[in-house]
Amino acid sequence: MNGPAKTRETLNQLITEQLKRQEQSRADVAELRNRMRILDRKLDTRRKILVGSAILADGKPNGRFPDEVRKSVTRGITRPGDRAILPEFFPGPEPAPGLPVRPSKPPGETPSSAAPA
């Protein structure tokens, strides 16, 4: 009774080991795909920065080009937070008359409401 029963037990162990390896391999592939997506996003962001920089630099000396860029930007950027960081394309509302405008503090200076360090 040692032969076939022992062989069956050994085969079950081999199947279990192979299934564990298969599961680990799937996890490894998923991790590599995730790393690829992250890299692709970084490269896409870098391309956008480079193209945007080139367009902004080229647009300054050309006649009609700044107007075309402005039209494209105003159509393509709709989120208020994104518009807020592009004041040259989306100027903010003027302060109400009679209200003092607080000048911004130089970098590194602590706000007056903060406790000294």
More confident residue, 91 or 74: 74
* Within a domain: 103: no
- Cα distance between residue 41 and residue 84, in whole Å: 23
* Within a domain: 113: no
**pTM higher than 0.75:** no
* Within a domain: 99: no
* Within a domain: 115: no
pLDDT of residue 67 exceeding 70, the answer is yes
Domain residues for 19? Answer: 2-84
pLDDT for 57 equals: 79
* Within a domain: 108: no
- Cα distance between residue 59 and residue 69, in whole Å: 8
**43: nearest Cα among 53, 51, 55:** 51
